[in-house]
Structure 1
Amino acid sequence: MPEETRVDVLIVGAGPAGVMCANALAAAGICSYGLAERLFKEGHQLHMFAFYNPDSDGVLARTGRAPVINAPTARYPFWILLHQGGVESIFTDSMAGHGLIIDRPAAPALIELSNDSEQLADMFSHPVKVTLDRLDTPGKQEIVHARYIVGCDGAHSWVRKAVGITMDGEQTGHIWGVIDVIVDTDFPDIHNACTIHSMSGSCLIIPREGDKVRFYVQLSDSDVLDPITGRLDKNRMSPEKLLEVRISMTRVL
């Protein structure tokens, strides 16, 4: 028989949104989580955006700069950038102080929502029943009874689909490649966020902590799609090929 447990809130998804939600619930009633100090210490402060576009001769040129925060009274007139693992570690460390841990080797398989009006009206009942597959023990399942369930499992949310909630907004058909590098360059805006639009596509430059830089490179279908299946084939792209695409976009700088 599957093991059964009861919780107040079951959070599906242990990325930044999920761990932030769990930490906030654990620290309910506490004014400060003590997160700012680590963000300032570990993250990168970003103050400016720069914009590059082709001029009349097709040569890329900077067409503008703007502060990332425009509010003149902002206490912190900048963004702090930190990689996903760093953000998650801040929240998981904070959660550990409240006696909570993240159970990652589990995936939801089935959700059942009670239709019993009396149970739904009882604030102490557990009307949500979720069956979990234990990924660390093949074939083993666990049943969790919860008062509430929160879906923090991303754009392709299992929770949203399981309860029949439609996705608001639009999905883009663009494919982007992402690579982190340490660069040796005289590019004047390497420490600013940059959007670069060229005749060959678009590129976004985001400075990161530790002198690293992240490139978001727009890819064409021919770069990454299998011509037979039409599906994304990661084997068609590599860090070297991604940098080649990026260089072709910005060669005329």
Structure 2
Amino acid sequence: MAHTATAQTSFSIPPKSYPTEVPFKCDAGVDRYWHVTSVTCTGRANGGYKFRIKGTAQKTSRSLSIDLFYLMPGNRLMTAGAYYFPSIEAGKPFSFEIVSAFSGYAPSKFNGFFISSEVLQKLLLKEQEETEATSNDTSTRRFGMPTTKKSEAEQEPAKPKTDPNKVYQSTDDAIEQLPEFTGGMQAFMSHISKNIRYPWICKEQKIQGMCLSASWWRRTVLCRM
């Protein structure tokens, strides 16, 4: 959130008295870290004017170069310069001075300072994106422990791939019912007698004898002409 001083709506150089409150605005990035609360002109210095900047740090930060602009009528910006703001520690107040508004380079009257930092704006944008990503997370908490909704692939245990050519042995300890021909043994023998065809070569040579049926039935069938 940007801040604007309410003591006056414009600033003239030179001011009528010292110290004089100077209107200002901060971009969201600067305000997120420095949270400036006042800018005061305290007097002349080195061909310009001294400005004391006060506030309370919102976040810890190393010393950074911050851009200052003059706020001109019509919301136009005019470059005032780049200044190093000191290292700050979250929750602690700060106060430091800069020298700006040099004669011949500063407008005689402006609406205040605009304090901006491209670096801090990018950091704030990244912070907001991370917050949104966290809020969109579907994780919930049960009994104080975080649990994350599993995907369908995770919910179902992986099934082993089966080889259609591989023969598997039964692992059952007992078979409740043995396989049986439909209709029982009598129907089976009737089926055999109706469907067995005596080999023609054996018939021509008048060969007869015993032959085995399917091995799993372990039965013998008498083949005669």
Return the TM-score normalized by structure 2.
0.20
Return the TM-score normalized by structure 1.
0.18
Larger RCO of the pair (alpha carbons < 8 Å, separation 6+): 1
